[in-house]
Amino acid sequence: MPPAQKRTRRYDPAKTRAAVLAQIDHVREAFRALTPEQLALPTHLGDWTVHELAAHLTMVVGTISRNIEGPTPLKQELALLEWPFATAEHAGDISEDTKGIAASAPDPGALSALLDRTAARVVELLAATPDDRLVAARPGAMRLDDFLVSRTVELTVHTDDLNRAASLAVPLDRQALAACTRLLADALAVKAPGGSVEVRIPPFAVVQCVEGPRHTRGTPPNVVETDPLTWIRLATGRLGWAEARAEAKVGASGERADLAQLLPLLG
């Protein structure tokens, strides 16, 4: 696991909570309008249909209440910047849990009702739980405020997946999009520490990464620039570097400004 940065970005817990709840509400509205035909559509996530994707989004919401309701861990095991690198080993269990939820909610009405119940429980528990409470997340015990930042990533990424697969336009909460963008940008700086390349994702993040001569003044010689949604798709393997470059979704200048070997960060 890559080491955490010496200086970790701080996230406003109140804004993170509001962002998570806002994105959950956007997803709930979308679920109410899903049709059986949409649930049967394929996605770009292996053999998952929209049905499995919707079940997974429900599970993402459910992890908040499940982890809060579980026993309080004795010590913190995972820092926020370690989370993106600690998820892949749990992919099998996550897939099994997703299939279980899909089987238990076989139609749009059942999925919508399940998400509504799950979301209501999350609201109730968050109101009574402090930010510094430790929760037993699947990759390791984390502070609740850090775990909620990880939920902005999951909710943002999979809302985008849902939009693409079912031709929807579910809104992305601005604060959730910002937190997701920043965490994945910081994960790149952790994976490839250095100061020779500046990665710009306006308006939310700028990070320096990759070993080599550090830039200190004027226009950096190696610059990568893209928009938040393209960055998120690159960082999670939804979009390849070569494809993004070919479609002019990423600007890259300088001999070191090639991130192909560093992506994706999160599977």
Q: What is the DSSP string of 152-205?
A: HHHHHHHHHHHHHHHT------HHHHHHHHHHHHHHHHHHS--SSEEEEETTTE
Domain segments of the chain: what residues? 13-172, 178-262
pLDDT on residue 254 = 93
Distance separating alpha carbons of residues 17 and 15, to the nearest angstrom:
5
What H or E segment, with its residue span, contains residue 225? strand 223-226
**Residue stretches of the chain with pLDDT short of 50:** 1-6
User: What is the fold, at CATH topology level, of the domain defined by 178-262?
Assistant: Nonspecific Lipid-transfer Protein; Chain A (3.30.1050)
Q: What's the pLDDT score for residue 90?
A: 86
Distance CA 96, CA 89 (A): 13
Q: Which CATH number fits domain 13-172: 1.20.120.450, 3.40.50.2300, 2.40.33.20, 3.60.10.10?
A: 1.20.120.450
Note whether 13-172 and 178-262 share their fold.
no
Instruction: Kindly report the backbone phi and psi dihedral angles of residue 25, in degrees, each rounded to the nearest multiple of 5, phi listed first.
Output: -65, -40
pLDDT in tens, 3-49: 444 467 999 999 999 999 999 999 999 999 999 999 999 999 999 99
Number of Cβ within a 10 Å radius of residue 145: 20
Mean pLDDT of the chain: 94
pLDDT of residue 132: 97
Terminal C-alpha separation, the chain: 14
Predicted local confidence at residue 80, as pLDDT: 96
